[in-house]
Structure 1
Amino acid sequence: MPDDKSKTDNRDRSRVSGDEEYEVGYLASKFGLSIPDVRQLFVKHGNDRDTLEREAKALGNR
């Protein structure tokens, strides 16, 4: 079924879903972290994309 371009949704791209394995895996591979490290970032900092990427970058540089 083709995408209907007239329908838009209200997804918030500034948030990361910690329940989606591909999003957790993406952050882990992008910053060279383990999956448990990324899960701890979600627990500690929430699901804001900018905050998670900033903290993951800091953790990956250690």
Structure 2
Amino acid sequence: MKQEGEPFERLENCETGDICSESGRYFCDMHPYIEKYVSKGERFPQCDQKGIPHKTSWNKLV
């Protein structure tokens, strides 16, 4: 889970369905408490906040 003040990076092409170009911990743009580890070459998932999946932008924790 992203902690307040924790540094992050907004990368391009980090939308649900895009191919990840850099492995790491990512958090949902709309729900920063939803965090996923995505490996390079995998597709970014939907956010599953409260079991209701939706498309989102993902931000990389640094």
Bigger relative contact order, structure 1 or 2 (CA pairs below 8 A, ≥6 apart):
2
Structure showing the higher strand proportion among its residues: 2
Structure showing the higher helix proportion among its residues: 1
Return the TM-score normalized by structure 1.
0.27
Return the TM-score normalized by structure 2.
0.27
